[in-house]
């Protein structure tokens, strides 16, 4: 159920430089901001926002520029721009400093936010993501071939993307693993795909590079990925954890890039770990 039909969810917008940015906010408690990956709207977090509410957190779920209810200006986009967009959302809803959770491209955006606006970030969960070149490992080029076909509804491409996103044993054990995912990606679930947004995000992703600056991140950080990620090699998470001071690394066996589908509790556990670390290091009275 979307914001329009759910009284516990408020959808808001903020204008940044003439670009409308849309986000949902729900619940009371410590703020957790959820940032999705390439071409995906915020609704693709599926049940995680509801789980956060049950755990006593509030959830802020933006649609990155180019996706969902946000505007999709023509490229180019930059990672700095996407990070500043996220900062504008956090300021607009008064959620900062927040725990910021970024998956794949969302994890790259989260890094830029933490580097450019550290006062808005209480902690980081960087999921199945990378610091980019020259330190990181390149993503699987097959996804770039398959994704446009999948987004156009090509069923063979959709099935191939499914197989790339998870460990083979996960689909074998649960052939309906992507049922909710596919339903949310359908045209009846929300705004349809806008190709200029995907092109803009892809261009920003290509130029993403934070490796030389990650030592400046001082907030509690958990880096988490599936050991068998076929999209962004798991080595990228090891590199991130090694370059961010005191980062904790979690490697999930027999899980892939879409590990939140395979291990539904893994991100929530990582968020709780960051929250506990942030609380233990907060100044008295904060």
pLDDT in tens, 135-186: 999 999 998 889 888 888 899 999 999 999 999 999 999 999 999 999 998 8
Give the domain extent around 64.
Answer: 3-280
Whether residue 109 is contained in a domain is answered as yes
Q: Looking at residue 214, what DSSP letter applies?
A: G
CATH of the domain at 68: 3.40.50.1820
**DSSP 8-state code for residue 47:** T
286 in a structural domain:
no
| Cβ pair 270, 174 in contact under 8 A | no
pLDDT by residue, tens only, the chain of 286 residues? 344 445 478 999 999 999 999 999 999 999 999 999 999 999 999 999 999 999 999 999 999 999 999 999 999 999 999 999 999 999 999 999 999 999 999 999 999 999 999 999 999 999 999 999 999 999 999 988 898 888 888 999 999 999 999 999 999 999 999 999 999 988 788 887 889 999 999 999 999 999 999 999 999 999 999 999 999 999 999 999 999 999 999 999 999 999 999 999 999 999 999 999 999 987 655 5
pLDDT of residue 113: 98
Residue 121 counted as domain residue: yes
Would you state the pLDDT for residue 190? 87
Number of domains in the chain: 1
Which residues lie below 8 Å from residue 76, measured CB to CB, with a gap of 6+?
200, 203, 204
Structural domain includes residue 42: yes
Burial degree of 173 (CB within 10 A; 0-12, 13-18, 19+): exposed
Q: 171: which residues sit within 8 A by CB, 6+ positions away?
A: 162, 163, 177
The reported pLDDT for the residue numbered 4 is 46
pTM, two decimal places: 0.95
Q: State how far the Cα of 59 lies from the Cα of 123, in Å rounded to an integer.
A: 14
**How much is the pLDDT for 192?**
79
Say if 175 falls within a structural domain. Answer: yes
Among residues 76, 73, 93, 82, the alpha carbon closest in space to that of 117 is found at 82
């Amino acid at each position: 159920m979307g914001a329009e039909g759910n009284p516990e969810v408020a959808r808001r917008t903020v204008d940044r430089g003439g670009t409308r940015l849309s986000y949902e906010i729900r619940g009371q408690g410590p703020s957790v901001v959820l940032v999705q990956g390439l071409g995906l709207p915020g609704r693709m977090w599926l049940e995680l926002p509801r789980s956060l509410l049950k755990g006593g957190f509030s959830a802020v779920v933006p649609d990155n520029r180019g996706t969902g209810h946000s505007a999709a200006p023509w490229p180019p986009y930059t990672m700095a721009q996407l990070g500043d967009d996220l900062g504008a959302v956090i300021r607009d809803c008064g959620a900062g400093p927040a725990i910021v959770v970024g998956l794949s491209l969302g994890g790259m955006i989260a890094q830029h936010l933490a580097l450019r606006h550290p006062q808005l970030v209480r902690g980081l969960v960087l999921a199945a993501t990378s610091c980019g070149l020259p330190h990181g490992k390149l993503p699987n080029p097959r996804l770039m071939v398959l994704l446009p076909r999948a987004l156009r509804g090509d069923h063979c491409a959709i099935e191939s993307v499914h197989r790339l996103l998870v460990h083979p044993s996960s689909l074998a054990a649960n052939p309906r693993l992507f049922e909710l995912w596919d339903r949310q990606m359908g045209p009846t679930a929300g705004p349809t795909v806008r190709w200029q947004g995907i092109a803009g995000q892809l261009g920003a992703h290509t130029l993403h590079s934070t490796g030389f600056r990650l030592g400046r991140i001082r907030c509690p950080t958990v880096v988490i990925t599936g050991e068998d990620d076929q999209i962004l090699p798991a080595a990228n998470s090891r590199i991130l954890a090694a370059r961010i001071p005191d980062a904790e690394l979690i490697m999930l066996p027999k899980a892939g890039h879409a590990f939140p589908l395979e291990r539904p509790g893994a991100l929530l556990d990582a968020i709780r770990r960051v929250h506990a670390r942030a609380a233990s290091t907060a100044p008295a009275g904060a």
